[in-house]
Chains A and B, each alone.
Chain A
Amino acid sequence: MRVLILGIAGGIARKLATRLLAAGHEVLGLDARPWPGAPPGIEIHRMDVRKRAAEDIFRRRRPDAVVHMATVTAFSLKGGERERINLDGTKTVFDHCRDHGVKQVLFVGRHTFYGAAPDSLLYHTEDEPPRALDKVPELADLVAADLYAATALWRFPEMTTAVLRLCYTLGAPGTGTLVSFLRGRRVPMVLGYDPLFQVLQEEDVVTALQLALEKRIRGIFNVAGPPPMPLSVIIRETGRTPVPLPSTLLAWLLGRMGLPTLSQGALDHIKYPIVADTRQFREATGFQYAYDEGRLLRVFREAAPPPGR
Protein backbone atom coordinates (compact mmCIF):
# COMPACT_ATOMS: atom_id res chain seq x y z
CA MET A 1 0.00 0.00 0.00
CA ARG A 2 1.03 3.64 -0.33
CA VAL A 3 1.61 5.02 3.17
CA LEU A 4 2.02 8.67 4.00
CA ILE A 5 3.76 9.28 7.33
CA LEU A 6 3.24 12.72 8.86
CA GLY A 7 6.11 13.72 11.12
CA ILE A 8 8.45 11.35 9.27
CA ALA A 9 11.63 12.95 10.61
CA GLY A 10 10.84 11.81 14.16
CA GLY A 11 12.86 8.93 15.59
CA ILE A 12 10.17 6.25 15.54
CA ALA A 13 8.64 7.53 12.30
CA ARG A 14 11.98 7.09 10.51
CA LYS A 15 12.21 3.51 11.74
CA LEU A 16 8.62 2.85 10.69
CA ALA A 17 9.24 4.30 7.22
CA THR A 18 12.32 2.11 6.76
CA ARG A 19 10.49 -0.99 7.98
CA LEU A 20 7.46 -0.38 5.75
CA LEU A 21 9.72 0.18 2.75
CA ALA A 22 11.49 -3.12 3.45
CA ALA A 23 8.09 -4.82 3.72
CA GLY A 24 7.30 -3.75 0.16
CA HIS A 25 5.09 -0.74 0.81
CA GLU A 26 5.44 2.56 -0.97
CA VAL A 27 6.40 5.16 1.63
CA LEU A 28 6.24 8.92 1.52
CA GLY A 29 6.46 11.43 4.30
CA LEU A 30 5.89 15.00 5.35
CA ASP A 31 7.80 16.93 7.99
CA ALA A 32 8.92 20.48 8.58
CA ARG A 33 12.15 19.02 9.96
CA PRO A 34 14.82 17.51 7.71
CA TRP A 35 15.75 13.83 7.54
CA PRO A 36 19.34 13.83 6.35
CA GLY A 37 20.43 10.49 4.92
CA ALA A 38 16.94 9.17 4.41
CA PRO A 39 16.81 5.92 2.38
CA PRO A 40 16.49 6.70 -1.33
CA GLY A 41 13.24 4.76 -1.70
CA ILE A 42 11.37 7.09 0.62
CA GLU A 43 9.79 10.19 -0.88
CA ILE A 44 10.12 13.07 1.56
CA HIS A 45 8.41 16.45 1.38
CA ARG A 46 9.77 19.06 3.75
CA MET A 47 6.77 21.11 4.73
CA ASP A 48 4.27 21.76 7.49
CA VAL A 49 1.15 19.63 7.20
CA ARG A 50 -0.98 22.71 7.85
CA LYS A 51 0.29 24.51 4.74
CA ARG A 52 -1.57 24.45 1.46
CA ALA A 53 1.24 22.62 -0.31
CA ALA A 54 0.67 19.66 1.98
CA GLU A 55 -2.82 19.14 0.59
CA ASP A 56 -1.31 18.91 -2.84
CA ILE A 57 0.65 15.85 -1.73
CA PHE A 58 -2.62 14.20 -0.66
CA ARG A 59 -4.24 15.27 -3.94
CA ARG A 60 -1.45 14.14 -6.26
CA ARG A 61 -0.13 11.07 -4.46
CA ARG A 62 -3.46 9.72 -3.08
CA PRO A 63 -2.07 7.65 -0.21
CA ASP A 64 -4.00 4.54 0.85
CA ALA A 65 -3.04 5.00 4.48
CA VAL A 66 -1.88 7.90 6.62
CA VAL A 67 0.08 7.60 9.86
CA HIS A 68 -0.28 10.79 11.84
CA MET A 69 2.73 11.24 14.09
CA ALA A 70 3.04 15.02 13.69
CA THR A 71 2.11 15.93 17.24
CA VAL A 72 4.39 17.47 19.84
CA THR A 73 4.66 17.40 23.63
CA ALA A 74 5.18 20.18 26.15
CA PHE A 75 8.82 19.08 26.37
CA SER A 76 9.51 20.08 22.78
CA LEU A 77 7.30 23.14 22.29
CA LYS A 78 5.52 25.66 24.46
CA GLY A 79 2.06 27.14 24.52
CA GLY A 80 0.01 28.36 21.57
CA GLU A 81 2.15 26.96 18.77
CA ARG A 82 2.01 23.50 20.33
CA GLU A 83 -1.77 23.71 20.51
CA ARG A 84 -1.95 24.81 16.86
CA ILE A 85 0.23 21.92 15.73
CA ASN A 86 -1.59 19.33 17.78
CA LEU A 87 -5.16 20.45 17.23
CA ASP A 88 -5.25 22.41 13.98
CA GLY A 89 -2.77 19.97 12.49
CA THR A 90 -4.91 16.97 13.42
CA LYS A 91 -8.04 18.61 12.05
CA THR A 92 -6.25 19.41 8.78
CA VAL A 93 -4.98 15.84 8.47
CA PHE A 94 -8.43 14.33 8.82
CA ASP A 95 -9.95 16.89 6.43
CA HIS A 96 -7.37 15.99 3.78
CA CYS A 97 -7.88 12.28 4.38
CA ARG A 98 -11.63 12.69 3.87
CA ASP A 99 -11.25 14.86 0.78
CA HIS A 100 -8.66 12.72 -0.99
CA GLY A 101 -9.90 9.18 -0.58
CA VAL A 102 -7.57 7.94 2.17
CA LYS A 103 -8.83 4.53 3.26
CA GLN A 104 -7.01 4.17 6.55
CA VAL A 105 -5.67 6.52 9.22
CA LEU A 106 -3.52 5.77 12.25
CA PHE A 107 -3.41 8.52 14.86
CA VAL A 108 -0.48 7.92 17.17
CA GLY A 109 -1.38 9.36 20.56
CA ARG A 110 0.00 8.84 24.02
CA HIS A 111 -1.06 6.88 27.08
CA THR A 112 -0.61 10.02 29.17
CA PHE A 113 -4.11 10.76 27.82
CA TYR A 114 -5.44 9.05 30.97
CA GLY A 115 -3.67 11.40 33.38
CA ALA A 116 -1.94 10.65 36.65
CA ALA A 117 -3.73 11.08 39.96
CA PRO A 118 -3.71 9.59 43.48
CA ASP A 119 -6.75 7.49 42.64
CA SER A 120 -5.44 6.45 39.23
CA LEU A 121 -6.49 3.08 38.01
CA LEU A 122 -3.85 0.48 37.41
CA TYR A 123 -4.56 -0.72 33.86
CA HIS A 124 -6.76 1.84 32.16
CA THR A 125 -8.97 0.42 29.46
CA GLU A 126 -9.74 2.38 26.29
CA ASP A 127 -13.16 3.44 27.55
CA GLU A 128 -11.65 5.46 30.43
CA PRO A 129 -12.00 9.24 30.18
CA PRO A 130 -8.94 11.49 30.63
CA ARG A 131 -8.40 12.75 34.18
CA ALA A 132 -6.52 15.43 36.10
CA LEU A 133 -6.38 17.72 33.06
CA ASP A 134 -7.02 20.75 35.24
CA LYS A 135 -3.68 20.13 36.93
CA VAL A 136 -1.68 19.53 33.74
CA PRO A 137 -2.73 22.09 31.11
CA GLU A 138 0.24 21.01 28.95
CA LEU A 139 -1.62 17.80 28.22
CA ALA A 140 -4.92 19.37 27.24
CA ASP A 141 -4.20 19.85 23.53
CA LEU A 142 -2.86 16.31 23.10
CA VAL A 143 -5.90 14.91 24.86
CA ALA A 144 -8.14 17.08 22.67
CA ALA A 145 -6.32 15.85 19.56
CA ASP A 146 -6.84 12.25 20.66
CA LEU A 147 -10.55 12.82 21.27
CA TYR A 148 -10.89 14.72 17.99
CA ALA A 149 -9.17 11.92 16.07
CA ALA A 150 -11.60 9.47 17.63
CA THR A 151 -14.55 11.41 16.21
CA ALA A 152 -13.41 10.25 12.76
CA LEU A 153 -14.68 6.80 13.76
CA TRP A 154 -18.28 8.02 13.41
CA ARG A 155 -17.82 11.06 11.18
CA PHE A 156 -16.04 9.17 8.42
CA PRO A 157 -17.31 5.58 8.64
CA GLU A 158 -15.90 4.86 5.18
CA MET A 159 -12.39 5.41 6.59
CA THR A 160 -10.68 2.84 8.83
CA THR A 161 -9.46 4.95 11.73
CA ALA A 162 -7.37 3.73 14.65
CA VAL A 163 -6.39 5.89 17.60
CA LEU A 164 -3.37 4.39 19.30
CA ARG A 165 -2.38 5.40 22.82
CA LEU A 166 1.26 4.55 23.01
CA CYS A 167 3.17 4.14 26.27
CA TYR A 168 6.64 5.56 26.93
CA THR A 169 9.33 4.34 24.56
CA LEU A 170 13.03 3.60 24.79
CA GLY A 171 15.31 2.73 21.92
CA ALA A 172 19.00 2.47 21.41
CA PRO A 173 18.96 5.18 22.73
CA GLY A 174 15.86 6.42 20.92
CA THR A 175 13.88 9.61 21.33
CA GLY A 176 10.98 10.84 23.38
CA THR A 177 9.89 11.93 26.82
CA LEU A 178 11.42 9.09 28.83
CA VAL A 179 14.72 9.28 26.94
CA SER A 180 14.92 12.99 27.77
CA PHE A 181 14.07 12.26 31.39
CA LEU A 182 16.92 9.73 31.61
CA ARG A 183 19.52 11.87 29.89
CA GLY A 184 21.54 12.72 33.03
CA ARG A 185 23.59 10.55 35.37
CA ARG A 186 21.24 11.43 38.21
CA VAL A 187 17.51 11.31 37.67
CA PRO A 188 15.08 13.12 39.96
CA MET A 189 12.26 11.26 41.63
CA VAL A 190 9.64 12.51 44.06
CA LEU A 191 10.61 11.45 47.56
CA GLY A 192 8.21 8.82 48.87
CA TYR A 193 6.78 7.91 45.47
CA ASP A 194 7.83 5.36 42.88
CA PRO A 195 5.18 5.00 40.17
CA LEU A 196 4.90 2.17 37.69
CA PHE A 197 5.99 3.03 34.16
CA GLN A 198 5.12 1.13 31.00
CA VAL A 199 7.90 1.10 28.45
CA LEU A 200 8.04 -0.30 24.93
CA GLN A 201 11.21 -0.71 22.90
CA GLU A 202 11.22 1.36 19.71
CA GLU A 203 11.58 -1.68 17.46
CA ASP A 204 8.47 -3.11 19.11
CA VAL A 205 6.69 0.22 18.62
CA VAL A 206 7.41 -0.04 14.92
CA THR A 207 6.15 -3.63 14.87
CA ALA A 208 2.96 -2.51 16.60
CA LEU A 209 2.38 0.32 14.14
CA GLN A 210 3.07 -1.93 11.15
CA LEU A 211 0.63 -4.51 12.48
CA ALA A 212 -2.00 -1.83 13.08
CA LEU A 213 -1.66 -0.80 9.44
CA GLU A 214 -1.54 -4.26 7.92
CA LYS A 215 -4.36 -5.66 10.07
CA ARG A 216 -6.44 -2.56 9.27
CA ILE A 217 -7.68 -2.20 12.82
CA ARG A 218 -10.45 0.24 13.65
CA GLY A 219 -11.10 1.80 17.05
CA ILE A 220 -9.15 3.04 20.04
CA PHE A 221 -6.27 0.94 21.31
CA ASN A 222 -3.73 1.16 24.09
CA VAL A 223 -0.30 0.03 22.96
CA ALA A 224 2.33 -1.18 25.41
CA GLY A 225 4.64 -4.14 25.84
CA PRO A 226 6.10 -5.82 28.89
CA PRO A 227 4.51 -5.44 32.32
CA PRO A 228 5.11 -2.05 33.94
CA MET A 229 8.11 -1.43 36.18
CA PRO A 230 8.70 0.98 39.06
CA LEU A 231 10.45 4.15 37.91
CA SER A 232 13.31 3.44 40.34
CA VAL A 233 13.99 0.12 38.58
CA ILE A 234 14.10 1.85 35.18
CA ILE A 235 16.52 4.47 36.50
CA ARG A 236 18.84 1.96 38.17
CA GLU A 237 18.79 -0.63 35.40
CA THR A 238 19.73 2.01 32.84
CA GLY A 239 22.80 2.80 34.93
CA ARG A 240 21.50 6.04 36.42
CA THR A 241 21.15 7.06 40.04
CA PRO A 242 17.72 7.98 41.36
CA VAL A 243 17.72 11.19 43.38
CA PRO A 244 14.56 11.37 45.48
CA LEU A 245 13.69 15.00 46.21
CA PRO A 246 10.81 16.36 48.27
CA SER A 247 7.84 17.28 46.12
CA THR A 248 8.03 20.97 47.06
CA LEU A 249 11.71 21.21 46.17
CA LEU A 250 11.17 19.48 42.85
CA ALA A 251 8.26 21.83 42.09
CA TRP A 252 10.53 24.81 42.81
CA LEU A 253 13.26 23.37 40.57
CA LEU A 254 10.95 23.07 37.55
CA GLY A 255 12.18 25.54 34.99
CA ARG A 256 15.52 25.87 36.79
CA MET A 257 18.72 23.78 36.82
CA GLY A 258 18.04 22.45 33.36
CA LEU A 259 14.63 21.01 34.24
CA PRO A 260 11.77 21.83 31.86
CA THR A 261 9.17 24.43 32.78
CA LEU A 262 6.08 22.42 33.59
CA SER A 263 2.99 22.85 35.69
CA GLN A 264 3.03 21.56 39.25
CA GLY A 265 0.52 18.92 38.16
CA ALA A 266 3.04 17.47 35.74
CA LEU A 267 4.93 16.20 38.79
CA ASP A 268 2.05 13.79 39.33
CA HIS A 269 3.41 11.88 36.34
CA ILE A 270 6.39 10.84 38.41
CA LYS A 271 4.27 10.28 41.52
CA TYR A 272 1.38 8.20 40.24
CA PRO A 273 1.21 5.48 37.62
CA ILE A 274 -0.31 5.63 34.16
CA VAL A 275 -0.70 2.04 33.19
CA ALA A 276 -2.79 0.95 30.24
CA ASP A 277 -4.51 -2.35 29.53
CA THR A 278 -3.44 -3.58 26.10
CA ARG A 279 -5.63 -6.63 25.74
CA GLN A 280 -7.71 -5.15 22.90
CA PHE A 281 -4.67 -4.31 20.80
CA ARG A 282 -3.12 -7.74 21.32
CA GLU A 283 -6.37 -9.44 20.34
CA ALA A 284 -6.87 -7.24 17.27
CA THR A 285 -3.34 -7.56 15.90
CA GLY A 286 -1.67 -10.55 17.57
CA PHE A 287 1.09 -8.17 18.70
CA GLN A 288 3.83 -9.69 20.83
CA TYR A 289 6.77 -7.69 22.08
CA ALA A 290 10.29 -8.93 21.31
CA TYR A 291 12.03 -6.92 24.02
CA ASP A 292 11.10 -7.86 27.57
CA GLU A 293 11.70 -5.38 30.37
CA GLY A 294 15.24 -6.60 31.12
CA ARG A 295 16.40 -6.60 27.54
CA LEU A 296 14.98 -3.20 26.64
CA LEU A 297 16.64 -1.56 29.63
CA ARG A 298 19.98 -3.26 28.86
CA VAL A 299 19.81 -2.16 25.22
CA PHE A 300 19.19 1.42 26.28
CA ARG A 301 21.97 1.35 28.89
CA GLU A 302 24.50 0.04 26.36
CA ALA A 303 23.47 2.60 23.75
CA ALA A 304 23.21 5.52 26.16
CA PRO A 305 25.43 4.94 29.17
CA PRO A 306 25.08 7.62 31.82
CA PRO A 307 27.24 10.66 31.06
CA GLY A 308 30.70 10.59 32.60
CA ARG A 309 31.00 6.80 32.67
Chain B
Amino acid sequence: MALDDSLEARVERLELPFNEFGVDPYGISKKHLARAAPVLAFFYRHYFRVRCFGCEHVPPRGRGMLVGNHSGGYAVDGAMVLTSMFLEMDPPRLAQGMAEKFINRFPIASLWTSRTGQFTGLPEHARRLLEDDRLLMIFPEGYKGTAKLYSERYSLVDFGTGFMRLALQTRSPIIPFAFLGGGTAVPTIANLYKLGRLLGVPYIPVTPYVLPLPLPAPLEIHYGEPLTFTGTGNEDDEIIIGYVEQVKARIAELIEKGRVRRQERLFL
Protein backbone atom coordinates (compact mmCIF):
# COMPACT_ATOMS: atom_id res chain seq x y z
CA MET B 1 0.00 0.00 0.00
CA ALA B 2 1.40 3.42 -0.94
CA LEU B 3 2.19 5.69 2.00
CA ASP B 4 0.21 8.59 0.57
CA ASP B 5 -2.77 6.32 0.06
CA SER B 6 -4.72 7.49 3.09
CA LEU B 7 -7.67 5.57 4.48
CA GLU B 8 -10.01 8.40 3.45
CA ALA B 9 -8.64 8.20 -0.09
CA ARG B 10 -9.26 4.46 -0.06
CA VAL B 11 -12.87 4.97 0.98
CA GLU B 12 -13.22 7.45 -1.89
CA ARG B 13 -11.76 4.89 -4.30
CA LEU B 14 -14.25 2.17 -3.40
CA GLU B 15 -16.18 1.47 -6.58
CA LEU B 16 -19.65 1.65 -5.07
CA PRO B 17 -22.55 3.76 -6.38
CA PHE B 18 -22.64 6.35 -3.59
CA ASN B 19 -25.22 9.13 -3.92
CA GLU B 20 -24.75 12.81 -3.02
CA PHE B 21 -25.13 11.93 0.66
CA GLY B 22 -22.36 9.32 0.44
CA VAL B 23 -24.76 6.40 0.77
CA ASP B 24 -25.18 3.51 -1.65
CA PRO B 25 -28.52 1.79 -2.44
CA TYR B 26 -27.95 -0.67 0.41
CA GLY B 27 -27.26 2.03 2.98
CA ILE B 28 -23.48 1.57 2.97
CA SER B 29 -22.14 4.92 4.09
CA LYS B 30 -18.83 6.57 3.25
CA LYS B 31 -18.94 8.42 6.56
CA HIS B 32 -19.25 5.21 8.57
CA LEU B 33 -16.63 3.42 6.49
CA ALA B 34 -14.23 6.33 7.00
CA ARG B 35 -14.83 6.14 10.76
CA ALA B 36 -14.43 2.37 10.91
CA ALA B 37 -11.33 2.25 8.69
CA PRO B 38 -8.77 3.66 11.19
CA VAL B 39 -9.95 1.29 13.92
CA LEU B 40 -9.86 -1.74 11.64
CA ALA B 41 -6.52 -0.65 10.14
CA PHE B 42 -4.99 -0.30 13.63
CA PHE B 43 -6.01 -3.85 14.53
CA TYR B 44 -4.93 -5.15 11.12
CA ARG B 45 -1.52 -3.50 10.98
CA HIS B 46 -0.42 -3.07 14.57
CA TYR B 47 -2.42 -5.24 16.95
CA PHE B 48 -2.75 -8.47 14.96
CA ARG B 49 0.01 -7.65 12.42
CA VAL B 50 -1.99 -9.49 9.78
CA ARG B 51 -0.03 -11.04 6.92
CA CYS B 52 -2.05 -11.48 3.78
CA PHE B 53 -1.09 -13.81 0.92
CA GLY B 54 -2.67 -14.35 -2.47
CA CYS B 55 -4.67 -11.13 -2.76
CA GLU B 56 -4.01 -11.25 -6.49
CA HIS B 57 -6.47 -14.15 -6.69
CA VAL B 58 -9.38 -11.89 -5.74
CA PRO B 59 -10.99 -10.30 -8.80
CA PRO B 60 -10.51 -6.50 -8.72
CA ARG B 61 -14.07 -5.97 -9.92
CA GLY B 62 -17.23 -7.96 -10.43
CA ARG B 63 -18.98 -10.57 -8.40
CA GLY B 64 -17.15 -13.04 -6.23
CA MET B 65 -17.45 -15.06 -3.05
CA LEU B 66 -14.69 -15.18 -0.49
CA VAL B 67 -15.29 -18.50 1.24
CA GLY B 68 -13.20 -19.52 4.22
CA ASN B 69 -12.89 -20.98 7.68
CA HIS B 70 -13.89 -19.41 10.93
CA SER B 71 -11.04 -18.84 13.34
CA GLY B 72 -11.50 -17.27 16.75
CA GLY B 73 -14.46 -17.09 19.12
CA TYR B 74 -16.24 -14.30 17.27
CA ALA B 75 -15.96 -12.05 14.24
CA VAL B 76 -12.26 -11.15 14.43
CA ASP B 77 -11.77 -13.22 11.27
CA GLY B 78 -14.51 -11.48 9.29
CA ALA B 79 -13.35 -8.03 10.36
CA MET B 80 -9.76 -8.77 9.31
CA VAL B 81 -10.77 -10.36 5.98
CA LEU B 82 -12.78 -7.31 5.01
CA THR B 83 -9.91 -5.07 6.18
CA SER B 84 -7.49 -7.02 4.01
CA MET B 85 -9.70 -6.38 0.98
CA PHE B 86 -9.85 -2.69 1.88
CA LEU B 87 -6.12 -2.23 2.54
CA GLU B 88 -4.43 -4.70 0.20
CA MET B 89 -6.56 -4.54 -2.94
CA ASP B 90 -6.07 -1.94 -5.63
CA PRO B 91 -8.63 -0.50 -6.11
CA PRO B 92 -9.84 -1.29 -2.60
CA ARG B 93 -12.88 -3.53 -2.38
CA LEU B 94 -15.55 -3.80 0.27
CA ALA B 95 -16.13 -7.40 1.26
CA GLN B 96 -19.71 -7.82 2.43
CA GLY B 97 -20.28 -10.44 5.08
CA MET B 98 -23.40 -12.38 5.73
CA ALA B 99 -24.00 -11.64 9.40
CA GLU B 100 -25.84 -13.76 11.94
CA LYS B 101 -29.47 -12.75 12.44
CA PHE B 102 -29.06 -11.89 16.12
CA ILE B 103 -26.74 -8.95 15.38
CA ASN B 104 -29.57 -6.71 14.16
CA ARG B 105 -31.32 -7.05 17.51
CA PHE B 106 -28.58 -5.04 19.17
CA PRO B 107 -28.47 -1.26 18.95
CA ILE B 108 -25.22 0.21 17.62
CA ALA B 109 -24.22 -3.19 16.18
CA SER B 110 -27.28 -3.10 13.93
CA LEU B 111 -26.40 0.38 12.73
CA TRP B 112 -22.69 -0.24 12.10
CA THR B 113 -23.13 -3.56 10.35
CA SER B 114 -25.76 -2.02 8.04
CA ARG B 115 -23.72 1.08 7.26
CA THR B 116 -20.60 -0.92 6.49
CA GLY B 117 -22.36 -3.42 4.23
CA GLN B 118 -22.51 -6.43 6.53
CA PHE B 119 -26.07 -7.68 6.10
CA THR B 120 -28.11 -10.47 7.62
CA GLY B 121 -27.17 -13.78 6.05
CA LEU B 122 -30.30 -14.31 3.98
CA PRO B 123 -30.07 -16.04 0.59
CA GLU B 124 -32.04 -13.18 -0.97
CA HIS B 125 -29.42 -10.69 0.23
CA ALA B 126 -26.57 -12.78 -1.06
CA ARG B 127 -28.18 -13.28 -4.47
CA ARG B 128 -28.99 -9.62 -4.89
CA LEU B 129 -25.52 -8.49 -3.88
CA LEU B 130 -23.86 -10.95 -6.25
CA GLU B 131 -26.13 -9.87 -9.10
CA ASP B 132 -24.97 -6.34 -8.29
CA ASP B 133 -21.36 -7.51 -8.76
CA ARG B 134 -20.41 -7.21 -5.11
CA LEU B 135 -17.80 -9.21 -3.23
CA LEU B 136 -19.34 -11.47 -0.59
CA MET B 137 -17.55 -12.93 2.41
CA ILE B 138 -18.98 -16.24 3.50
CA PHE B 139 -18.11 -18.58 6.34
CA PRO B 140 -20.03 -21.78 5.52
CA GLU B 141 -19.33 -23.20 8.99
CA GLY B 142 -21.72 -20.65 10.50
CA TYR B 143 -21.57 -19.91 14.22
CA LYS B 144 -20.48 -23.51 14.91
CA GLY B 145 -17.21 -22.48 13.28
CA THR B 146 -16.59 -19.63 15.67
CA ALA B 147 -17.42 -21.93 18.59
CA LYS B 148 -14.34 -24.08 17.88
CA LEU B 149 -12.17 -24.56 20.97
CA TYR B 150 -8.44 -23.78 21.03
CA SER B 151 -7.57 -27.45 20.53
CA GLU B 152 -9.78 -27.53 17.39
CA ARG B 153 -8.43 -24.28 15.94
CA TYR B 154 -7.13 -25.78 12.70
CA SER B 155 -10.15 -28.02 12.08
CA LEU B 156 -13.19 -27.42 9.91
CA VAL B 157 -16.75 -28.19 11.00
CA ASP B 158 -19.55 -29.05 8.57
CA PHE B 159 -20.13 -26.61 5.73
CA GLY B 160 -23.57 -25.41 4.74
CA THR B 161 -24.44 -25.86 1.07
CA GLY B 162 -26.41 -22.67 0.38
CA PHE B 163 -23.38 -20.74 -0.78
CA MET B 164 -22.69 -23.27 -3.54
CA ARG B 165 -26.22 -23.08 -4.95
CA LEU B 166 -25.91 -19.30 -4.96
CA ALA B 167 -22.53 -19.44 -6.67
CA LEU B 168 -24.02 -21.64 -9.40
CA GLN B 169 -27.18 -19.56 -9.78
CA THR B 170 -25.25 -16.30 -10.06
CA ARG B 171 -22.21 -17.74 -11.88
CA SER B 172 -19.91 -16.33 -9.22
CA PRO B 173 -16.31 -17.45 -8.73
CA ILE B 174 -15.44 -18.78 -5.27
CA ILE B 175 -12.18 -17.51 -3.83
CA PRO B 176 -11.22 -19.93 -1.04
CA PHE B 177 -9.26 -18.55 1.89
CA ALA B 178 -7.70 -19.80 5.07
CA PHE B 179 -7.68 -17.69 8.20
CA LEU B 180 -5.03 -18.60 10.74
CA GLY B 181 -4.32 -17.38 14.25
CA GLY B 182 -7.83 -16.51 15.36
CA GLY B 183 -7.79 -19.46 17.74
CA THR B 184 -4.65 -18.07 19.36
CA ALA B 185 -6.05 -14.53 19.49
CA VAL B 186 -9.21 -15.73 21.20
CA PRO B 187 -8.18 -19.05 22.81
CA THR B 188 -11.59 -20.45 23.66
CA ILE B 189 -11.59 -23.14 26.34
CA ALA B 190 -15.38 -23.32 26.69
CA ASN B 191 -18.56 -21.81 25.34
CA LEU B 192 -21.40 -20.77 27.63
CA TYR B 193 -24.52 -21.50 25.60
CA LYS B 194 -27.13 -20.85 28.31
CA LEU B 195 -25.65 -17.49 29.24
CA GLY B 196 -25.47 -16.67 25.54
CA ARG B 197 -29.16 -17.43 25.09
CA LEU B 198 -29.96 -15.14 28.03
CA LEU B 199 -28.06 -12.34 26.34
CA GLY B 200 -29.56 -13.03 22.92
CA VAL B 201 -26.44 -14.50 21.28
CA PRO B 202 -25.65 -18.13 20.42
CA TYR B 203 -22.95 -18.49 23.12
CA ILE B 204 -20.33 -16.63 25.14
CA PRO B 205 -16.74 -17.83 24.59
CA VAL B 206 -14.59 -18.25 27.71
CA THR B 207 -10.80 -17.94 27.62
CA PRO B 208 -8.15 -18.89 30.21
CA TYR B 209 -8.28 -15.25 31.30
CA VAL B 210 -12.14 -15.49 31.41
CA LEU B 211 -13.07 -12.50 29.26
CA PRO B 212 -13.04 -13.21 25.51
CA LEU B 213 -10.84 -10.21 24.71
CA PRO B 214 -8.54 -10.85 21.75
CA LEU B 215 -4.82 -11.23 22.41
CA PRO B 216 -2.37 -9.53 20.02
CA ALA B 217 -1.56 -12.79 18.22
CA PRO B 218 -0.28 -12.53 14.63
CA LEU B 219 -2.91 -13.50 12.10
CA GLU B 220 -2.60 -14.75 8.53
CA ILE B 221 -4.98 -14.84 5.60
CA HIS B 222 -4.20 -17.03 2.61
CA TYR B 223 -6.33 -16.52 -0.49
CA GLY B 224 -6.33 -19.33 -3.02
CA GLU B 225 -7.00 -19.34 -6.74
CA PRO B 226 -10.65 -18.87 -7.70
CA LEU B 227 -12.76 -21.99 -8.12
CA THR B 228 -15.49 -21.91 -10.73
CA PHE B 229 -18.26 -24.48 -10.84
CA THR B 230 -20.77 -24.85 -13.64
CA GLY B 231 -24.42 -25.65 -13.11
CA THR B 232 -27.80 -24.10 -12.49
CA GLY B 233 -27.92 -24.29 -8.70
CA ASN B 234 -30.83 -26.68 -9.01
CA GLU B 235 -28.76 -29.87 -8.89
CA ASP B 236 -29.39 -32.71 -6.47
CA ASP B 237 -27.95 -32.34 -2.98
CA GLU B 238 -25.43 -35.07 -3.73
CA ILE B 239 -23.83 -33.08 -6.52
CA ILE B 240 -23.86 -29.85 -4.52
CA ILE B 241 -22.29 -31.59 -1.50
CA GLY B 242 -19.58 -32.91 -3.81
CA TYR B 243 -18.78 -29.38 -4.96
CA VAL B 244 -18.84 -28.10 -1.37
CA GLU B 245 -16.40 -30.83 -0.36
CA GLN B 246 -14.03 -29.64 -3.09
CA VAL B 247 -14.11 -26.13 -1.66
CA LYS B 248 -13.69 -27.45 1.86
CA ALA B 249 -10.72 -29.57 0.80
CA ARG B 250 -9.08 -26.56 -0.85
CA ILE B 251 -9.56 -24.48 2.31
CA ALA B 252 -8.15 -27.33 4.41
CA GLU B 253 -5.09 -27.39 2.11
CA LEU B 254 -4.60 -23.65 2.52
CA ILE B 255 -4.93 -24.00 6.31
CA GLU B 256 -2.38 -26.79 6.40
CA LYS B 257 0.07 -24.86 4.23
CA GLY B 258 -0.33 -21.82 6.43
CA ARG B 259 0.02 -23.86 9.62
CA VAL B 260 3.31 -25.43 8.45
CA ARG B 261 4.55 -21.98 7.43
CA ARG B 262 3.68 -20.53 10.83
CA GLN B 263 5.48 -23.36 12.64
CA GLU B 264 8.58 -22.88 10.49
CA ARG B 265 8.54 -19.17 11.34
CA LEU B 266 8.40 -19.99 15.06
CA PHE B 267 11.53 -22.16 14.82
CA LEU B 268 13.56 -19.72 12.70
Which of A's residues lie within 8 Å of B, judged by CB?
Answer: 118-123, 190-196, 226-230, 233, 237, 247, 271-273, 292-294
Contact code string B104-140 (vs A, CB < 8 Å = 1, else 0): 1111111100110001101011001000000000000
Contacts of B119 in A (CB 8 A): 122
Contacts of A229 in B (CB 8 A): 19, 21, 23, 27
Q: How far is the CB of B191 from chain A (nearest CB, A)?
A: 23
Known contacts A193-B111, A230-B29; decide if A119 and B120 are in contact (CB<8 Å): yes
Contacts of A247 in B (CB 8 A): 107
Given A118-B104, A192-B109, A271-B110; 7 other pairs, CB 8 A cutoff:
A118-B105, A119-B101, A121-B125, A122-B26, A196-B27, A247-B107, A272-B104
Q: How far is the CB of B207 from chain A (nearest CB, A)?
A: 27
Q: Is the CB of B21 within 8 A of A194?
A: no
Q: Is the CB of B110 within 8 A of A233?
A: no
Q: Is the CB of A122 within 8 A of B101?
A: no
Chain B: CB-nearest residue to A125: B124
Chain A: CB-nearest residue to B110: A193
Contacts of B120 in A (CB 8 A): 118-120
The answer for the CA separation of A228 and B23 in the assembled complex, in Å, is 9
B25 interface contact, C-beta 8 A: yes
Q: Is the CB of B107 within 8 A of A119?
A: no
- The listed residue (A193, A230, A271) touching B23 by CB distance below 8 A is A230
B20 interface contact, C-beta 8 A: yes
Chain A: CB-nearest residue to B101: A119
Chain A: CB-nearest residue to B25: A227
CB within 8 Å of A: which B153-170 residues: none
Q: List 21 A-B contacts (CB under 8 A).
A: A118-B104, A118-B105, A119-B101, A119-B120, A121-B125, A122-B26, A122-B128, A192-B111, A195-B114, A196-B27, A227-B23, A227-B25, A228-B25, A229-B19, A229-B23, A229-B27, A233-B21, A247-B107, A271-B110, A272-B104, A294-B19
Q: Is the CB of B21 within 8 A of A228?
A: no
Q: Is the CB of A191 within 8 A of B107?
A: yes
The answer for the CA separation of A273 and B24 in the assembled complex, in Å, is 15
Contact code string B27-62 (vs A, CB < 8 Å = 1, else 0): 101000000000000000000000000000000000
The answer for the CA separation of A168 and B75 in the assembled complex, in Å, is 35
Q: Is the CB of B114 within 8 A of A237?
A: no
Known contacts A119-B122, A227-B25, A273-B27; decide if A194 and B114 are in contact (CB<8 Å): yes
The answer for the CA separation of A185 and B125 in the assembled complex, in Å, is 36
Q: Is the CB of A233 within 8 A of B23?
A: yes
Contacts of A193 in B (CB 8 A): 107, 110-111
Q: Is the CB of B21 within 8 A of A118?
A: no
The answer for the CA separation of A121 and B101 in the assembled complex, in Å, is 11
Contacts of B26 in A (CB 8 A): 122, 196
Chain A: CB-nearest residue to B107: A192
Q: Is the CB of A118 within 8 A of B101?
A: yes
Q: Is the CB of B115 within 8 A of A230?
A: yes
Q: Is the CB of B20 within 8 A of A118?
A: no
Q: Is the CB of A123 within 8 A of B110?
A: no
Contacts of A293 in B (CB 8 A): 19-21
Known contacts A227-B19, A233-B21, A294-B21; decide if A192 and B104 are in contact (CB<8 Å): no
Contacts of B106 in A (CB 8 A): 192
Chain A: CB-nearest residue to B22: A233
Chain A: CB-nearest residue to B19: A293
Contacts of A194 in B (CB 8 A): 111, 114-115
Q: Is the CB of A294 within 8 A of B20?
A: yes
The answer for the CA separation of A227 and B200 in the assembled complex, in Å, is 32
The answer for the CA separation of A271 and B111 in the assembled complex, in Å, is 9
Chain A: CB-nearest residue to B112: A192
Contacts of A120 in B (CB 8 A): 120
